[in-house]
Amino acid sequence: MRPGLRRGSLAALLLASTAGGAAFAQAQDQNPDVGQLFTATISERVTADSNYQLDDPSPGTSTYADTRLLLGYANNTPTQTFALGLDTGLRALWQAEQSFDFTLASPTGARLAYTNEWADGIFDTTLRYRQRQVNSILDIPIDTDGDNIPDNLDRLTGDTREMRYDANVGVVWGTSTPTLAS
């Protein structure tokens, strides 16, 4: 496939999805409390960084491109709300003095929410997952010759993925019970 044709197809796809999103939003404006809504967002960002890993001395300029994808779904009725969300992406990284690499964009996350209201109560729950890349540099000073001047070992560096899980569950009873005035 020729590059010009590929760009034209991508532009047509993005234009059609925007028009479909506008139609969904217009239908949602007529009755915002009831209905389904699906959203999708694609974004691209290119960054040049003079010292990507904060090395001393800097090895040179690194370049990375993040392609982000955000997906959302919501289904609302007069008594229930259900929502799903995904935020992820891909990073193309050309790090100084290293080979080209693809990594999962940081942070990446997912969310699920559900609410149910009835005559005299509310049930509400939210579940979230998030992961992000964490880089660390640790200098360990050690006095090995007894002159009270620390001798630095080589720096300990590390890259890891931090994962976080959150849950919130709640129930409220007696929402229609009258309150006493003080």
Q: pLDDT at residue 7 above 80?
A: no
- Domain edges within the chain: 1-30, 33-173
Q: Return the higher-pLDDT residue of 39 and 5.
A: 39
Q: What is the pLDDT of residue 165?
A: 94
Select the highest-mean-pLDDT range: 7-11, 131-135, 178-182. 131-135
Q: Residues 96, 98, 99, 103: is their CA dihedral positive or negative?
A: negative
Strands 108-118 vs 101-104: parallel, antiparallel or unpaired: unpaired
Q: Residues 29, 44, 17, 131: is their CA dihedral positive or negative?
A: negative
Q: pLDDT at residue 63 above 90?
A: no
Q: Work out the percent of the chain whose per-residue pLDDT is above 90.
A: 31
Across 135-147, average pLDDT: 60
**What is the C-alpha separation between 105 and 87, in angstroms, rounded?**
9
The SS3 of residue 28 is: helix
pTM recorded for the entire structure:
0.59
Across 152-177, average pLDDT: 78
Across 66-95, average pLDDT: 91
How many CB atoms lie under 10 A from the CB of residue 89? 19
Among 85, 4, 7, 90, which residue's Cα sits nearest to residue 43? Answer: 90
Q: pLDDT at residue 13 above 60?
A: no
